[in-house]
């Protein structure tokens, strides 16, 4: 969590030094962007249209971005290995066969919208929407954000050129890295909102200890 | 709370001891094999060391991607530099005929080379991408001689571990390890896209290090020195970049 927030803040700072995105291999202030973020840049070489240059925060941002990436990747690795060894993913995250249907997903959304209280099974385990979201984050978004990030390293690309070539070039990799980070932020926002709605301390205690104080005990 | 069994306690203790011993061994090995960057003393040292060590193990000999001629950028972007100093202006007025590259330090035959001396070395070209830490990039053809040719000619001593290089502009200097210095794509660059290297792109002489970010490719090179330690240069962090808050190793 801490390293994700560090990556997010420093990532935003790095984007500020060039808030333009391109597609393909190359792109710079002299070429047409795919899109621009309408903010002033921290470099006066970027034609933003604003008569203002933001303070440059790239030095420490880049140092911290890569250090936080190591922390996140190493803890993520331990988590995935542990999850596979203890069958956590298969037992708790893979939706049971009966629920692998669009209808089951819709049903959960309907309950959310009705603000129906969770049923007994849900307060102790994840429903099918949660399971799908968590699996997508763990096995799709995180691998993709790591891949697109590595593809931005000129030295890594020299050893593994396919890492960047398969993405359609360096600037495509940068643009994809930006969007995938955006999806991860969206997940985080929804995730935290749901935790707050469900009762912050109760859920956080459950996450850390793996135990749930049931409603019966509480009332 | 459940009781912690004796077996669990012993296992945890053993794992922790093995972990500490492992880290100690790893850091000693890393130091011996030159896998610790010179700016590893800060809060960001562990991250930088992991990156640098991992990449040195993975990329010691790998070649930066080269591109077909058709991909050369129509609009290369010349990043801004400070206004040139008086010394540079004098050289520019004289058509760079007196430009010298001093090569010294841990070398058998220190030398002072003119641009025409440098042009007697085998000329190579490469079509590679310049990648800025800010995020932008362009592709150009770079023409020059691999630094390794000059290093071989002047006889770099085996104990040299880094090459430090200086611009004619004050406080603009960088250094690279021998893996990058001896790398066939590390060029003393004098030409670009079939012409002379323009001043805005570093002419008359720029050291191109294509496996690292653009800021390692210092413009207007006048001196190269071989050393076994970076402690004696500047604040001892390896180059001007860490002194300004940027990482020494820019292969990311």
Q: Which residue of chain B is at minimal alpha-carbon distance from A31? A: B75
Q: What is the DSSP string of A14-58?
A: HHHT--EE--SS-B-TTS--SEE-SS--SSTTS--S-S--PPP-H
Contact check, Cβ <8 Å, B58/A156: yes
C-alpha closest to that of B127 among B19, B208, B15: B208
Per the CB < 8 Å rule, is B131 touching A20? Answer: no
Interchain contact, A14 vs B58, CB within 8 Å: no
Mean per-residue pLDDT, B57-84: 93
Across the interface, whether the CB atoms of B62 and A67 are under 8 A apart is answered: no
Query: What pLDDT does residue B66 have?
Result: 98
Residues of A near B (Cβ–Cβ under 8 Å) read: 14-15, 17-18, 20, 25-31, 43-45, 58-60, 62-64, 66-71, 152-159, 161, 164-165, 170-171, 174
Q: Which residue of B has its CA nearest to A44?
A: B80
Q: Which of A63, A67, A155 sits opposite B211 (nearest CB)?
A: A155
User: Which pLDDT belongs to residue B12?
Assistant: 79
pLDDT at A209 over 70: yes
Chain length of chain B: 252
Say how many C-beta atoms besides its own lie within 10 A of residue B24's C-beta: 10
A70 pLDDT above the threshold of 90: yes
B129 neighbors B66 (Cβ within 8 angstroms):
no
In tens, the pLDDT along A25-54 reads: 999 999 999 999 999 999 999 999 898 999
Confidence of residue A219 (pLDDT cuts 50, 70, 90): very low
Q: Is the pLDDT of residue A212 over 80?
A: no
- Helix boundaries (H) for chain A: 2-16, 58-85, 88, 102-114, 120-124, 128-136, 142-150, 154-159, 162-165, 170-198, 200-209, 215-218
Lowest mean pLDDT among B25-39, B106-120, B200-214, B215-229: B25-39
Strand partners, B105: B226
**Chain A residue closest to B72 (CA)?**
A26
Q: What is the mean pLDDT of residues A168-174?
A: 98
- A43 to chain B: nearest residue by CA? B134
Quick one: pLDDT band at residue B7, thresholds 50, 70, 90?
Answer: confident
pLDDT at B6: 77
* pLDDT tens digits, A102-148: 999 999 989 888 888 877 777 778 889 999 999 999 999 999 999 99
Per DSSP, helices labelled H in chain B are: 6-32, 45-59, 86-93, 115-118, 147-154, 178-181, 240-243
How high is the pLDDT of residue B1?
42
Is B22 part of the contact surface with chain A (CB cutoff 8 Å)? no
Q: Among B207, B186, B190, which residue's Cα sits nearest to residue B198?
A: B190
Is ipTM strictly over 0.90?
no
| Rounded Cα gap, residues B56 and B60, in angstroms | 5
CB-nearest to B137 from A62, A71, A170 is: A170
User: Which chain A residues are within 8 Å of B78, Cβ to Cβ?
Assistant: none
For residue B77, give the nearest of A28, A66, A157 by CB distance: A28
A154 vs B80: CB contact, 8 Å cut-off?
no
What's the pLDDT at A218?
A: 44
On whether the CB atoms of residues B165 and B226 are closer than 8 A, the answer is no
Q: pLDDT at residue B15 above 60?
A: yes
- B114: helix, coil or strand? strand
Which candidate, B144, B242, B227, places its Cα nearest to that of B184?
A: B144
Arithmetic mean of pLDDT over chain B? 93
Average pLDDT over residues A66-88: 95
Report d(CA B199, CA B188) in Å as an integer. Answer: 15
* pLDDT tops 60 at residue A95: yes
Please judge whether A159 and B62 are an interchain contact, meaning their C-beta atoms are less than 8 angstroms apart.
yes
Contact residues, chain A, for B215 at CB < 8 Å = none
Q: Give the best residue of A10, A29, A53, A63 to mutate against chain B (max B CB count within 10 A).
A: A63
Q: Which candidate, A212, A175, A194, A80, places its Cα nearest to that of A137?
A: A80
Q: What is the mean pLDDT of chain A?
A: 91
Q: Is B143 on the interface with A (CB under 8 A)?
A: no
Q: Which of B55, B64, B134 sits opposite A18 (nearest CB)?
A: B134
What is the nearest CA distance from A72 to chain B, expressed in angstroms? 11
d(CA B169, CA B88): 8
Query: Given this model, what pLDDT does residue A217 score?
Result: 47
State the smallest CA–CA distance between residue B113 and chain A in angstroms. Answer: 30
Measured between beta carbons, the chain A residues lying within 8 angstroms of B61 are: none
Is B218 in a helix, a strand, or coil? Answer: coil
**Is pLDDT at A10 greater than 70 in this prediction?**
yes
Q: Which residues in chain A have Cβ-Cβ distances shorter than 8 Å to B210? A: 154
**Cα B213 from Cα B55, distance rounded (Å):** 14
């Amino acid at each position: 969590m801490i390293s994700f927030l560090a990556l997010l803040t420093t990532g935003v700072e790095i984007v500020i030094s060039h808030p333009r995105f391109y597609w393909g291999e190359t792109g710079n202030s002299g070429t047409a962007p795919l899109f621009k973020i309408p903010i002033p840049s921290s470099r006066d070489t970027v034609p933003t249209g604003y008569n203002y240059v933001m303070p440059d925060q790239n030095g420490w941002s880049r140092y911290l971005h890569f250090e936080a990436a190591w922390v996140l990747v190493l803890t993520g690795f331990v988590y995935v290995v542990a999850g596979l060894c203890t069958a956590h993913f298969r037992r708790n995250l893979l939706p049971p066969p009966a629920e692998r249907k669009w209808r089951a997903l819709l049903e959960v959304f309907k309950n959310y919208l009705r603000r129906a209280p969770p049923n007994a099974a849900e307060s102790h385990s994840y429903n099918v929407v949660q399971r799908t979201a968590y699996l997508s984050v763990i096995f799709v978004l995180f691998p993709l954000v790591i891949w697109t990030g590595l593809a931005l390293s000129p030295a890594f690309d020299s050893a593994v050129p396919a890492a960047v070539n398969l993405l359609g070039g360096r600037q495509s990799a940068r643009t994809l890295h930006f969007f995938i980070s955006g999806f991860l932020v969206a997940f985080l926002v929804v995730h935290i909102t749901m935790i707050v709605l469900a009762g912050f301390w109760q859920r956080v205690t459950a996450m850390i200890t793996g135990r749930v104080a049931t409603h019966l005990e509480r009332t | 709370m459940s009781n912690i069994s004796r077996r669990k306690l012993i296992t945890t203790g053993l794992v922790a001891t093995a972990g500490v011993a492992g880290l100690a061994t790893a850091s000693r090995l890393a130091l011996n094999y030159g896998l610790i960057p010179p700016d590893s003393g800060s809060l960001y040292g562990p991250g930088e060391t992991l990156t640098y060590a991992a990449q040195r193990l993975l990329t010691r000999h790998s070649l930066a991607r080269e591109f077909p001629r058709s991909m050369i950028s129509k609009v290369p972007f010349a990043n801004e530099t400070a206004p040139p100093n008086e010394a540079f202006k004098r050289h520019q007025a004289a058509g760079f005929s007196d430009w010298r590259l001093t090569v010294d330090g841990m070398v058998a035959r220190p030398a002072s080379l003119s641009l025409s001396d440098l042009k007697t070395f085998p000329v190579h070209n490469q079509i590679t991408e310049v990648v800025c830490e800010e995020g932008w990039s362009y592709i150009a053809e770079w023409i020059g001689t691999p630094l390794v040719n000059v290093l071989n000619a002047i006889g770099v001593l085996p104990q040299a571990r880094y090459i430090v290089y200086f611009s004619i502009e004050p406080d603009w200097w960088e250094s690279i390890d021998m893996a990058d210095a001896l790398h066939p794509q590390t060029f003393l660059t004098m030409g670009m896209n079939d012409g002379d290297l323009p001043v805005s792109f570093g002419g008359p002489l720029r050291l191109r290090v294509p496996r690292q970010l653009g800021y390692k490719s210092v413009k207007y090179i006048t001196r190269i020195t071989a050393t076994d330690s970076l402690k004696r240069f500047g604040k001892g962090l390896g180059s001007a970049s860490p002194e300004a808050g940027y990482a020494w190793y820019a292969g990311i």
